[in-house]
Amino acid sequence: MEKRVRILVAKPGLDGHDRGAKVVARALRDGGFEVVYTGLRQTPEQIAEAALQEDVNVIALSLLSGAHNHLFPRIVELIRANGMNDVLIIGGGVIPDSDIAGLKAAGIAEVFTPGTSTTTIIDFINANV
Amino acid sequence: MDIAEELLNGSRLALSRAITAVENEHDNAVDIMQKLYAHTGNAHVIGITGPPGAGKSTLTDKLAKEYRKQGKTVGIIAVDPTSPFSGGAILGDRIRMNDLTLDKGVFIRSMGTRGSLGGLSRKTAETVKIMDAAGHDIILVETVGVGQSEVDIIKTADTIIVVLVPGLGDDIQAIKAGILEIGDVFAINKADHEGVDRLHTELEMMLDLNQQKTEWRPPVKRVIANRGEGITELAESIAQQIDQSKQSGQFVTRRKERTRSELLVMLDELLGRHVRNKLSVDGKIDKLVASVESRVRNPYAVVNEIIASVLR
């Protein structure tokens, strides 16, 4: 059996900076993961549908616009409504520490803020999938 | 309900999970395929191949939209290379297809090659069957960016579109064997770029020299995929090709050939696995390897003996 972990790297919302997402995508590839990258400016509905079609094990959300408190929980909700209850959803970007507890309560498994090494992200995924 | 039943009842999650089961060779994969097989064979499978950067993903996106306008449902399989070093992959073809994501008449699946060298992954053909069983009218299979010899797509598609762009090479490139021999329809993308007339002429000349196989002479169509120009005409050529192929009997011949090769490959795989399992018992294989390595015996005699003992 050839299990390979599949990860959707997605950028919800309107910010146009995907340098970070691309660096993470590349690091995940080098970590042996299959990374589906969907590009900029995705709606929560698009992200949930892409995750369904690709049957990913992990969804990594990157967001720099400040709309995380609105968009992240919405995405979790849509993913779960599709019946994908076992998907690990993580987030990253400029997210204030004070928001992290709320995001975790909404179903985001972990939040990675600027300065996180890519190894930390890979280790977290390997430990939780 | 099991996955196959749910899929046949229209569940998109079941469709997605069935593909994963097959791709990762889960225990239930064979069972799923057995239940789906009777429901396959209805879709028109179109392969889209060509060198990296030719615009295959963009063209796939535009063709899918053209078929949606005709009211047909579309499955898309987009294959990208797996890293030979890490085993990971960046599957980025969806970037060109974001508008299709929320269309319920379209289902897109990205796949890594996972070590296959023919331009597809080992499980692409079965993924085509799963999408077919799910009722998609058209299945577009986009290969990895290919060079000259990655022609596995002929084992999967009813119609093959070879996408080329101006400026890749001189006319010697056009008479080389390989992907240029497998096209049923040629699309010259980025037809607003310099060198398009020359490429077009070279292709037409090459095709005029190739009059062997059938009465179908592959047409060469110019497109500008990112602006959507020439797509309707390309779809018309594809429709003509499939009609002609059905009339001439080529369609049936190709599918029969495909079924034969799939059957034989499956037989090889399962038989090989069975024999290997037997040989691994009690270190039998290690003893055989040692006897061959020390030149006490030769590999030809050893293999004959193994086959004789298995088929006994």
CA distance B157 to chain A (A): 22
pLDDT above 70 for A78: yes
pLDDT tens digits for range A33-60? 999 999 888 999 999 999 999 999 999 9
Residues of A in contact with B27 (CB under 8 A): 1
Question: ∠ at Cα B88 (B131, B110), nearest 5°?
Answer: 20
| Tokens linked to A121 | 């992200």
Q: Which residues in chain B are contacts of A50 at CB distance < 8 A? A: 94, 101, 108
Distance CA(B4)–CA(A121), nearest Å, equals 35
A46:B102 CB<8 A: yes
Output the pLDDT for position B14: 97
Tally of CB atoms within 10 A around B134: 25
**Proportion of chain A above pLDDT 90, given as a percent:** 83
To the question of domain A6-128 being in CATH 3.40.50.280, the answer is yes
- Cβ distance B102 to A45 less than 8 Å, yes or no, reads yes
Mean pLDDT of B227-256: 95
CATH topology of domain B41-248: Rossmann fold (3.40.50)
Weakest mean pLDDT among A110-119, B216-225, B268-277: B268-277
Predicted local distance difference test score (pLDDT) of residue B300: 97
Interface of B with A in 108-127 (CB under 8 A): 108-110, 112, 114
ipTM of the prediction: 0.93
pLDDT at A58: 97
pLDDT tens for residues B83-109? 888 889 999 889 999 899 999 999 999
- Tell me how crowded residue B234 is: count the other CB atoms within 10 A of its CB: 25
For residue A24, give the DSSP letter.
Answer: H
Residues B116-138, mean pLDDT to the nearest whole number: 93
Nearest to B80 by CA among B108, B40, B43, B44: B108
When pLDDT is averaged across residues B131-146 and rounded to a whole number, the result is 94
Note the pLDDT tens digit of each residue in B163-178. 999 887 655 565 566 7
pLDDT one-digit tens code per residue, B55-67: 999 999 999 999 9
pTM, entire model: 0.92
Taking residues B13-40, report their average pLDDT. Answer: 96
Is residue B208 predicted with pLDDT exceeding 90? no
**pLDDT of B77 above 50:** yes
Does A1 have pLDDT greater than 50? no
